[in-house]
Structure 1
Amino acid sequence: MDRPSVVVKQLSAGDRARWDAFVRACPEATFFHLSAWEGIVREVFRHRTFFLFAERAGEIIGVLPLAEVRSRLFGHALTSLPFCVYGGIAGFAEAVAPLEAEAEAIARRLGVQHLELRNVMARHADWPRQDLYVTFRKPIHADDDANMREIPRKQRAMVRKGIANGLASEIDGDVERFFALYADNVHRHGTPALPKAFFARLLKEFGPDCEVLTVTDSAGRPLSSVLSFYFRDEVLPYYAGDAEAARELAANDFKYWELMRRAAARGYRLFDFGRSKVGTGSFSFKKNWGFVPQPLSYEYRLYKRDEVPQNNPLNPKYRAFIALWRRLPRPVANALGPHIVRNLG
């Protein structure tokens, strides 16, 4: 008897529940494969989406979320998935070739310059790859003392400095304090801020799987904040911001300790410190916590370009823009930022 063939389809409203059930059960899938990203990317950032799934005998065996990003400055791409650090195909081996074939067909039909799959692990030795990014993931224990002991000595001293300074952490029900700290932080670094509506949408769509933690000083003033995702047994601090006073009081260090401590108490057993560019300050900060960098294999199919795009702040051609952005008044930067950053993905 012949085995049923694999069919590739696009996500519809009626497929969302079984798509998410597959994602939550699939070992290769990540928080960024959940179906809610389709509406977020399409409605908040106005990118055309193509959430593909492979089906055999009525059962989903693989998923591939994609979005088309058009930008005069940064080019025309089909990506899995903009604004997400992990992507690519998640599923059984039989799903890979049909999903990739459909993705390439869509890419050629759209006339994009390249297809980008943000894989955690390499799939194609012969595809161009970008080795700029790494991720930091580490198991955590149920016991606070065990987690504290695993933090290297110098970094542990910074966490204890934050505790000694009388800092406290609180869970926020909205993104107001987070966004103020985040927008100020990225402006100081010369980067446009994502729109506040995006963060509010994340809280709405993901409910208890998305949370804002804010650190305050002894007078109750907000110093540092982080928006995190929860998926299976993992906690993923994803967006963060700090006031200028945070460094002196070790509020940033205290923030991540508090997130780790709270997550461990709730039964989460893996801390995903997220993506960083090699050689940056955030890369060094995460290594100082005792996390070992793990390369990310972003793979490309190039159609109308000769090399992998370098759409990141380390690219020398963006340095003038970064310097200019830092000089803009923050209200102006916050107003203009969403129109620019939607194409950065």
Structure 2
Amino acid sequence: MNHTVATATATDAAACRDFLARHGVFPGHVDSRWATILASHYAMQATTLLARTSEGAISGLLFCYHRNGDGHTLYSPPYGLIAGDPAAAAALQRSASEIAKAAGLGRTIITSGTTDLAGPHHRWSRQSITLALPRLADDEAVLAWLPQKTRNMVRKARRNGLKISDTPQHLPDFYRVYRSRLTEKGLTLKPPGFFTDMATLFQDECLLLTALENDTVAGAMLFQISGTSAAYLYNAATERGLQAGCNNLLMAEAARNLSARGITRLDLGESMPGSGVFDFKTKGCGGQAEVVHYYDLMRLADTPPPRLAVGLAERVYGYAVSRSAFLPAALREVLLLKASSYGRVL
């Protein structure tokens, strides 16, 4: 079957939602509202490509983005390419490569989630964790559903006096904890307005859960909701909060809150097997690991990576970040913020 590909418009929104619902994926990753955040905070251009059958029905979707001016890679977010059949997927891949070439980019890195696509491209895989949420009527049902160790940690957190808030008023305090922790670890940072804009654009589809100790933020988790699915996107906690068990309490409250909203699937995101985060999501939360597939559409299998024209600014920031542990915290924070705009941000 032949498929044509074109850029989505506002009139395609309802048909896109129906297509994504039929394919059982979390549609929030490819929501066009992310384009506004990418443009305002990262000078990145986002495009939603739609593949259609000869009858005009949507047969595939790809959300992709790249940095304007000095970018070198076209990216997709997790589960960025969703297609009804291999021919539609191939048509979307060709169109993505054409966009990259027209923009002078050297790489096109996309992911099709758990669907393994055929093709000659260089490929690799990662582990992503998904949690199936049953109907949890009350707090006792949540505790009974949790693994024993997590249940004990939730009770410990409550004994330590931690309380959960589900209001967005704590977003500035969450960002302060997030900024401090990631700067300490030498990890790239989202800019200050990123989370505020996310809350504004997604409104009721954005859920911030905050663990409080005497009205002070000990930790928080930020979720995106779409249909009957949700995604766990961002987390930060103080060292004191971690010791008090705030992450376990936050995830227990997330399960209760999301279940009450009719959410049945929670995407916990990618993690490295054997890491503490992977163990928390699987052993601590009961999530199931799945293989997700990545492709570089401008590199054939078993060939070396291309030599990219990396700009001076990116080289300088990359070099500085690699040595950021030796820099003062304030300077390290500035560099980590700047460096975040040169790679994959969703």
TM over 0.5: yes
**Which stretch has the larger CA shift, 248-257 or 172-181?**
172-181
**Which stretch has the larger CA shift, 244-253 or 143-152?**
143-152
Cα distance in 2 for residues equivalent to 1:323 and 1:155: 35
SS at match of 2:189: coil
SS at match of 2:230: strand
User: Which among 34, 45, 48 is matched to residue 37 of structure 1?
Assistant: 34
Q: What aligned pairs does 1:4-19 form with structure 2 within 5 A after superposition?
A: 6-19=3-16
Q: Give the TM-score of the pair, scaled to structure 2.
A: 0.83
Report whether the alignment pairs 1:340 with 2:339.
yes
User: Which among 103, 123, 126 is matched to residue 129 of structure 1?
Assistant: 123
Aligned to 1:227: 222
Q: Which amino acid aligns with 1:67?
A: Y
Q: Give the TM-score of the pair, scaled to structure 1.
A: 0.83
Contact 1:9/1:52 (<8 A) preserved: yes
Decide whether aligned partners of structure 1 residues 271 and 49 sit closer, same or farther in structure 2, where only a CA change above 3 A counts.
closer
Aligned to 1:67: 65
Figure out how many residues of one structure are paired with residues of the other and give that number: 327
Q: What aligned pairs does 1:1-345 form with structure 2 within 5 A after superposition?
A: 6-28=3-25, 30-56=27-53, 57-69=55-67, 76-81=72-77, 85-121=78-114, 122-124=116-118, 126-131=120-125, 133-143=126-136, 144-174=139-169, 175-217=171-213, 219-289=214-284, 290-303=286-299, 306-307=304-305, 324-345=323-344
Shift of 1:37: 1.9
Segments of 5+ residues of structure 1 without an aligned counterpart are 310-317
Q: Which amino acid aligns with 1:265?
A: A
Cα distance in 2 for residues equivalent to 1:302 and 1:6: 21
Shift of 1:141: 2.0
| C-alpha RMSD over aligned residues | 2.9
Cα distance in 2 for residues equivalent to 1:108 and 1:320: 27
Cα distance in 2 for residues equivalent to 1:322 and 1:65: 29
Cα distance in 2 for residues equivalent to 1:262 and 1:95: 37
Q: Which amino acid aligns with 2:179?
A: A
Aligned to 2:312: none
Shift of 1:327: 4.6
SS at match of 2:72: strand
Contact 2:107/2:299 (<8 A) preserved: yes
Decide whether aligned partners of structure 1 residues 337 and 323 sit closer, same or farther in structure 2, where only a CA change above 3 A counts.
closer
Shift of 1:248: 1.8
Q: Which amino acid aligns with 1:136?
A: I
Cα distance in 1 for residues equivalent to 2:85 and 2:28: 18
Shift of 1:179: 0.7
Identity %: 23
Cα distance in 2 for residues equivalent to 1:213 and 1:31: 18
Shift of 1:160: 1.6
Q: Which amino acid aligns with 2:215?
A: G
Shift of 1:228: 0.6
Q: Which amino acid aligns with 1:135?
A: S
SS at match of 1:296: strand
Decide whether aligned partners of structure 1 residues 159 and 328 sit closer, same or farther in structure 2, where only a CA change above 3 A counts.
farther
Contact 1:193/1:341 (<8 A) preserved: yes
Contact 1:223/1:246 (<8 A) preserved: yes
Cα distance in 2 for residues equivalent to 1:215 and 1:29: 26
Decide whether aligned partners of structure 1 residues 230 and 308 sit closer, same or farther in structure 2, where only a CA change above 3 A counts.
farther
SS at match of 1:118: strand
